[in-house]
Amino acid sequence: MPSTPNTPTTPTTSRITEYLIPRAGAFPHDPALAPDGTVWYTDQNNSYIGRLNPASGSITDIATPTSGSGPHGIDVAPDGFVYYTAQSRAIIGRVDPRTNAITEFRLPAETANPHTPLVFRGKVWFTAEGNNTYGELDPATGTVRTFRCPTANSLPYGLRAAPDGLLWIALFGTNKLGRVDPVSGAMTEFTLPAAAARPRRLEVAADGMVWYTDYSRGYLGRLNPATREVREWRSPSGTGSAPYGIAISKDGRVWYNESTANQMIGFDSQSEQFETVRIPTAGSIVRNVASDVANQRIWLALSGTQRIGKLDLARP
């Protein structure tokens, strides 16, 4: 298993702008970027869906129809409609961005506790971490297909689509990644060499490589699906850094959060060098991110600090 020890890093003066959410006790869990450049987020504690206008800094929040629903993950469809998982109430919600009206879709018991959503080819795929399942909602009909992970207690977590039209799921309870055929729903598992690996979030590059954060061991990893080769690099803060939310920028760099070190990490796979960017407010945990490729930004949900962050990649 090719591994790289902790390599030298280049510390960078923070390029992160923070936006304070005015609602008291706000706990932003996930962000999502809309086609018009606005940023949506889930406020898990208050059971609100928020909308940030980056140009003005103004924030609008919308109460979920079911109180205490615990909105968790969020994604925006190409038509601008916003989908979120209401983890505490087995619901997927849809927000109409023109009216802020929310439609709720009830999920079957086997996919209760929905986690990460992904709008893909007109359907909403999602993981259900606590049920060892994943599913697909057709918002046109409300029908749901559910599938069970091959390995027990897999804790299906992060979810992303690949350029070849297949889906990838980080199986956080195992040392495995799952590849899903969206037609049949069948999953193929890819076992990571380190038995203690626990992939939590992942991202798929344009070349098909699957990058993942190994939350347990403090590593950044890369799987080549064609050869099943795995490479990994020790995160700058090492063991205990708890790598979490991950994205790929326009120039191909991989960016992820060290959730216990209050910083974002950029990794150049060509030079195999790391860059660190401090998050201004202490105590930030970035559970998920949204990449704005066109404007060279990454949006961060700064959980625990009542803030949304913008990492500007265009600035030196």
pLDDT band (50, 70, 90) for residue 192: very high
pLDDT band (50, 70, 90) for residue 314: confident
Question: What is the pLDDT at residue 132?
Answer: 98
Mean pLDDT of the chain: 95
State both tokens at 73. Answer: 């993950």
Over range 278-298, report the average pLDDT: 96
Residue scoring higher pLDDT (1 or 25): 25
Question: What is the pLDDT at residue 90?
Answer: 97
Which stretch of DSSP H or E encloses residue 210? strand 210-214
Question: What is the pLDDT at residue 13?
Answer: 59
pLDDT band (50, 70, 90) for residue 279: very high
286 and 303 Cβ atoms separated by less than 8 Å = yes
Matching residue, tokens 């790929």: 248
Provide the 3-class DSSP secondary structure of residue 249. coil
Question: What is the pLDDT at residue 1?
Answer: 46
- Rounded CA separation 227/204 (Å): 15
- Rounded CA separation 180/187 (Å): 4
Question: What is the pLDDT at residue 10?
Answer: 61
Report residue 38: phi and psi, to 5°: -75, 160
Over range 180-198, report the average pLDDT: 98
Give 87-90's long-range contacts (Cβ < 8 A, gap of 24+): 87/44, 87/113, 87/114, 87/115, 88/113, 90/114
First and final C-alpha spacing in the chain: 35
Q: Is the pLDDT of residue 79 over 60?
A: yes
The 10s digit of each residue's pLDDT in 232-258 is 999 999 999 999 999 999 999 999 999
Q: Any idea which of 1-5, 188-192, 194-198, 307-311 has the lowest mean pLDDT? A: 1-5
Q: Is the pLDDT of residue 307 over 70?
A: yes
Q: Is the pLDDT of residue 277 over 50?
A: yes
124 and 92 Cβ atoms separated by less than 8 Å = yes
Give, as one character, the DSSP assignment of residue 109.
G
Q: Is the pLDDT of residue 3 over 70?
A: no
244 and 220 Cβ atoms separated by less than 8 Å = no
State both tokens at 186. Answer: 């069948």
- Rounded CA separation 203/84 (Å): 19
Domains of the chain: 3-312 (2.130.10.10)
Over range 83-88, report the average pLDDT: 97
The 10s digit of each residue's pLDDT in 143-182 is 999 999 999 999 999 999 999 999 999 999 999 999 999 9
